Structure 1
Amino acid sequence: MDESESQPRVLATDKALELIREIQKDHPDILFHQSGGCCDGSSPMCYPANEFMIGDNDVKLGEIGGVPVYISGGQFEAWKHTQLIIDVVPGRGGMFSLDNGREKRFLTRSRLFGGGEACAIPAIRRPSM
């Protein structure tokens, strides 16, 4: 299987893409960072791109709706055989996440890559500054 046939590491549901477009009306340039589980559980956090510093150990998983999605290097090691699916459910978003106050929030669902699928996933490169 070549790289063009490989499965993406991160996907978004239609509801998530709709909420992204809603947020972009107020904040055109945003990014996601998969939370490590401290204050906001394991929520995907949505931030203005110019207000969040990507760390040296953060890994870019891909993009959803043209928006980059990052995860910490340590968490990536734990989830490297997993595809993340960003979805939306009713509720309050993370305290500092741009979905907060909209009565709906982003939620990460996941599935394990199966068979040879994980082997076909291209190597992840850390972001260059």
Structure 2
Amino acid sequence: MKKLLFLTFFFSFILFSCNDDSDCFTPPEPIVMEFVNSKGENLIQNGSLTKEHFHFLQIAGDTKIGTNFEINHENRVILNKLGWIVGSTTYEAFVNVSKLSRKCGGNKIDNVSFKDIEALSQNGIYQIVVE
């Protein structure tokens, strides 16, 4: 009986301790953007920009897919669903994504660069200067 109990425990431990990479995935962190003027004033907070002013598209060849976003309590735009595809993707900005080198897998956003727009990155927040 002790051997049976030991074998049951042993195989249960092996079964639950093995982690298949296909069973888990770490999604990339969201992209957080703050739109400011040249004085550093938040343009959502002062009413110059509203949710209706924003429209984000993921472009893949001739296909354009709308991307959901939210505006948080700090008046910053949050893009939650970006970075699921490894490589560079055009969003009227360039998002470079790479795979995490962990047992569980996942992706991380390495860099976001904006075409013809001044943007500063601090602590994971992209501050975009709009004139």
More strand as a share of residues: 2
More helix as a share of residues: 1
TM-score (norm 1): 0.29
